[in-house]
Structure 1
Amino acid sequence: MAKLYFYYASMNAGKSTVLLQASFNYRERGMRTMVWTAAVDDRYRPGTITSRIGLEAEAHVFAAETDLRGAIETEHAAAPLHCVLVDEAQFLSGAQVGQLADICDELDIPVLAYGLRTDFLGQLFDGSRRLLAIADVLNEIKAVCGCGRKATMNLRCDHHGHVARAGAQTVIGGNDRYVAVCRRHFTMAMRNGRLPDFRRAA
């Protein structure tokens, strides 16, 4: 039976790179994939997954109202799909995660979802919460804090090193807005309101 996979990580762990490599591996063997990304992520060209190391690929775009099951079923009926891959999976709704599980269970197509586990306040995204609850396989993609420990948290900051401690859950950005840190330095930064000096705080 096909499985629902959730690959989660902090910012800048290479999630999109891993997704693009997985899709390439299927396609290299003559298998069809369907790749999705979130409409809300407009850092690059719409409908494109772009990794920080320069890899990119065209993708279907999902929004809150997107019927993923219907779209995937239509694509599969036109020509069999061998895998569905979803980038920015934290932006899925709980219902959409359920649709992806149905794709695995009823169409026997594996689904690989890649996304953040928590936001800049250390709270779960809705899509991530549901994926953590029902995915068949959970895999953590490792990132590194400035101190050398494993980065598991995301800090939102400005160019002066001030850390956001309130605000909207979703503010799109990359290295210019977010820093991946370990839990120790996340706690320190939230307490002090500033990015840690890793040279002294490690």
Structure 2
Amino acid sequence: MPELVFFSGTMDCGKSTLALQIAHNRSARGLQVLIFTRDDRAGEGKLSSRLGLVTDAVEAVPGMDLYAHVVDRVSQGGKVDYLIVDEAQFLEPVQIDQLARVVDDLRLDVFAFGITTDFRTKLFPGSRRLIELADRIETLQVEAMCWCGSRATHNARTLGGEMVVEGEQVVVGDVTGFDEEVGYEVLCRQHHRRRMTSGSVRASALSPDVLPVGSD
């Protein structure tokens, strides 16, 4: 039976790499994929991983009817055997409903990849709808690590290496940068709650075992 599957995890846990691997494995067996993505780090209409792999994709812009796009592709003679949707957390809830319709009406598997919560630990609307509708939810087993060595469970937004907890939900940034640009870092719950990023620890010359004054 076709399924809507949501692969979730924090940043740096290999979601896009797995998406590309699934596409590679299935294409080797003659299956044709249709890839959607949104706000990929490599630019519009691209699916990329931090390992340097990249492929073309359809940019799922706001207001786009994903179900209608698939139907149009097939009606014009294109072959579609399954869908991959990366950065699914950025999709509108109605677009997640359209993906479910692809599974139910067109009988195609849909593999969606995305992070669950934002830098404020709040659910992304797209992720929330996927949790509500998915046939299966798979937590990726490649564990991202906090700077302290513990398993990272939360996504943090940084500015100049300092964690921020206010601002727009979606701001595309560099997960490796600690300059004055917007960046992202994965943290364990303890250090997310204490707003202790690797940049702030280095700046204050604290060891990982020393808590900042006033910490609860």
User: When the two structures are superposed, what TM-score results if normalisation uses the length of structure 1?
Assistant: 0.90
- Read off the aligned partner of 1:7 and give its amino acid letter: F
Question: Which residue does the alignment assign to 1:170?
Answer: 170
Q: 1:201 to 1:135 in 2, by over 3 A?
A: farther
Q: 1:105 to 1:165 in 2, by over 3 A?
A: same
In the alignment, structure 1 segments of 5+ residues that lack a partner are none
Q: 1:20 to 1:42 in 2, by over 3 A?
A: closer
* Deviation string, structure 1 residues 174-193 (Cα, Å, up to 9, x no partner): 31200011112111117x9x
- Read off the aligned partner of 1:15 and give its amino acid letter: K
* Partner SS state of residue 157, structure 1: strand
Q: Shift in Å at residue 149 of structure 1? A: 2.3
* Partner SS state of residue 126, structure 2: helix
Q: Which has the higher contact order (CA 8 A, sep 6+)?
A: 1
Please state if 1:72 is matched with 2:70: yes
Q: Shift in Å at residue 45 of structure 1? A: 3.3
User: When the two structures are superposed, what TM-score results if normalisation uses the length of structure 2?
Assistant: 0.85
* Partner SS state of residue 75, structure 1: helix
* Deviation string, structure 1 residues 39-72 (Cα, Å, up to 9, x no partner): xx26323211111111000001111110100001
Instruction: Report percent identity of matched pairs.
Output: 36
Deviates more, 1:112-121 or 1:68-77: 68-77
* Partner SS state of residue 55, structure 2: strand
Question: Which residue does the alignment assign to 1:88?
Answer: 87
Q: What is the aligned residue count?
A: 197
CA distance in 2, matches of 1:183, 1:200: 14
Question: Which residue does the alignment assign to 1:56?
Answer: 54
Matches within 5 A, 1:124-139: 124-139=123-138
Matches within 5 A, 1:111-130: 111-130=110-129
* Deviation string, structure 1 residues 70-116 (Cα, Å, up to 9, x no partner): 00122233234221000110011111101100111111100000011
* Deviation string, structure 1 residues 121-157 (Cα, Å, up to 9, x no partner): 0000000000011101101123222222221211101
Q: 1:107 to 1:201 in 2, by over 3 A?
A: farther
Q: Shift in Å at residue 199 of structure 1? A: 4.7
Q: Give the greater-gyration-radius structure (CA).
A: 2
CA distance in 2, matches of 1:46, 1:188: 35
CA distance in 1, matches of 2:200, 2:11: 15
In the alignment, structure 2 segments of 5+ residues that lack a partner are 178-182, 211-216
Asked if 1 retains the 8 angstrom alpha-carbon contact of 2:40 and 2:46, the reply is no
Question: Which residue does the alignment assign to 2:144?
Answer: 143
Question: Which residue does the alignment assign to 2:214?
Answer: none
CA distance in 2, matches of 1:196, 1:186: 13
- Read off the aligned partner of 2:44 and give its amino acid letter: P
CA distance in 1, matches of 2:46, 2:3: 25
- Read off the aligned partner of 1:143 and give its amino acid letter: A
- Read off the aligned partner of 1:153 and give its amino acid letter: H
- Read off the aligned partner of 1:45 and give its amino acid letter: G
Asked if 2 retains the 8 angstrom alpha-carbon contact of 1:185 and 1:196, the reply is no
- Read off the aligned partner of 2:186 and give its amino acid letter: A
CA distance in 2, matches of 1:17, 1:7: 12
